[in-house]
A and B are shown apart, each in its own frame.
Chain A
Amino acid sequence: MSLSDTATPTRQPSPSAVTKADIATAGATRRRKAAKWKLIVGTVCTLLVIIPIILAQVLPLPDANFQDLAARRLPPFTDGHLFGTDQLGRDLLSRVLHGGQVSLTIGVLAVLVSGAIGIILGAAAGYFGGWVDTIISRLLEAQMSLPLLMMLLLVVALFGPSIPVITFVIAIAQWPEVARLTRSMVLVEREKPYVSAARILGLHRIQILIQHIIPNVIKQATLVVLLLLAQAVLLESALSFLGAGPQRPFATWGRIISDGQDYITTSWWMVTLPGLVIVLMVVGVNLLGDGLRDRPRRKKKDA
Chain B
Amino acid sequence: MTNYILKRLGQGLLTVFLTVSTVFILIRMAPGDPAVSYAGPLATNEQLAAVREQFGLDRPVLEQYWIFLQQLFTGNLGTSYSFQAPAMQVVAERMPYTLTLATAAILLTAVVAIPLGVWMSRRPDTGKELGVNVLTIAGQSMPDFWTGIMLLTGFAVLIPIFPASGFATWGGLVLPTITIAILQIALISRMVRREMTANFAAPYLTVARSRGVRNSVLTWRYAMGNSAIPVFTALGTRFAAMLNGVVVVEVVFAWPGVGSLIVRALETRDYPLIQATVLLTALLAVGVQLLIDLAYPLLDPRVRLGKAATA
Contacts and interface: CB of A to CB of B under 8 A. Distances in A.
Q: Do A and B bind each other?
A: yes
Interface of A: 27-28, 30-31, 34, 37-38, 141-142, 144-151, 153-155, 157-160, 230, 234, 237-238, 241-242, 254, 257-258, 261, 264-265, 268, 271-272, 275, 278-279, 282-283, 286-287, 290
- A-B complex: 9 closest residue pairs judged by Cβ atoms: A158-B30, A147-B244, A275-B146, A282-B141, A157-B266, A30-B125, A283-B141, A241-B145, A27-B125
A290 to B, nearest CB: 7
B282 A145 contact: yes
B102 to A, nearest CB: 13
A164 to B, nearest CB: 15
A243 B244 CA distance: 19
B149 A264 contact: yes
DSSP majority for the B interface?
helix
A141 B18 CA distance: 13
A7 to B, nearest CB: 14
Contacts of B23: 151, 154
Given A30-B125, A146-B282, A287-B137, 10 more contacts: A34-B133, A145-B286, A150-B259, A150-B278, A154-B23, A155-B26, A254-B145, A257-B149, A279-B138, A290-B133
A154 B30 CA distance: 10
A238 B144 contact: yes
Given A34-B130, A271-B149, A290-B137, A238 B244 contact: no
Interface string B126-149: 100010011001101111111001
Contacts of B138: 279, 283
A242 B134 CA distance: 29
Given A31-B125, A145-B289, A147-B285, A238 B237 contact: no
B203 interface: no
B301 to A, nearest CB: 26
Query: Most A CB atoms within 10 A — which of B12, B31, B146?
Result: B146
Contact of B125 (A34, A144, A154, A275): A34
Contacts, number: 132
A129 to B, nearest CB: 13
Contacts of A141: 15
Contacts of B251: 241-242
A230 B141 CA distance: 8
Interface in B246-299: 247-248, 251, 259, 262-263, 266-267, 274, 277-278, 281-282, 285-286, 289
A195 to B, nearest CB: 21
B147 to A, nearest CB: 8
B248 A149 contact: yes
B19 interface: yes
Given A145-B285, A158-B27, A242-B263, A150 B145 contact: no
Contacts of B61: none
A156 B245 CA distance: 17
Contact of A275 (B124, B150, B237): B150
Contacts of A147: 241, 244-245, 278, 281-282, 285
A147 B102 CA distance: 14
Contacts of A155: 26
B157 A242 contact: no
Contacts of A242: 247-248, 251, 263
Majority secondary structure of chain A interface residues (helix, strand, loop or mixed): helix
Contacts of B245: 147, 149-150
Given A155-B26, A264-B157, A27 B124 contact: yes
A90 B29 CA distance: 38
Contact of A153 (B29, B145, B266): B266
Nearest to A280: B141
A145 B240 contact: yes
A149 B143 CA distance: 14
B143 A278 contact: yes
Contacts of A290: 133, 137
Nearest to A268: B153
A57 B224 CA distance: 53
Contacts of B41: none
A261 B145 CA distance: 10
Nearest to B144: A238
Contacts of B143: 234, 237-238, 241, 254, 257, 275, 278-279
B130 A286 contact: no
B273 to A, nearest CB: 12
Interface in B20-44: 23, 26-27, 29-32
A153 B152 CA distance: 24
A288 to B, nearest CB: 10
